Amino acid sequence: MTDHLSDATSLNVHGEPAAVLVAVEYLESLEETIAVLSDSEAVARLIASDAEIARGEAVTVDDLATAMANRSGDGGI
């Protein structure tokens, strides 16, 4: 991913900023971030997840693969 902020283009009217052009992907990312941060339940889940990681309760991809392999009984993915 590139630094989208450096890709922003400011449009000036009479020497004053009037609008900013950004990549659609960046705008969508901003909109999604606003939506998540506006959802108090989602924010609470993110905070809880960060706390779990800080306590060392994170699960690695390898842990998940092993658990899924054991669940399916085939020993692999």
Q: Which of 50, 49, 2, 9 is nearest to 29 (CA)?
A: 2
Do 5 and 21 form a contact (C-beta atoms < 8 A)?
no
Mean of pLDDT values over 5-29: 91
The pTM assigned to this predicted structure is 0.57
pLDDT tens profile 34-46: 999 999 999 999 9
* Domain definitions of the chain by residue range: 1-38, 39-72
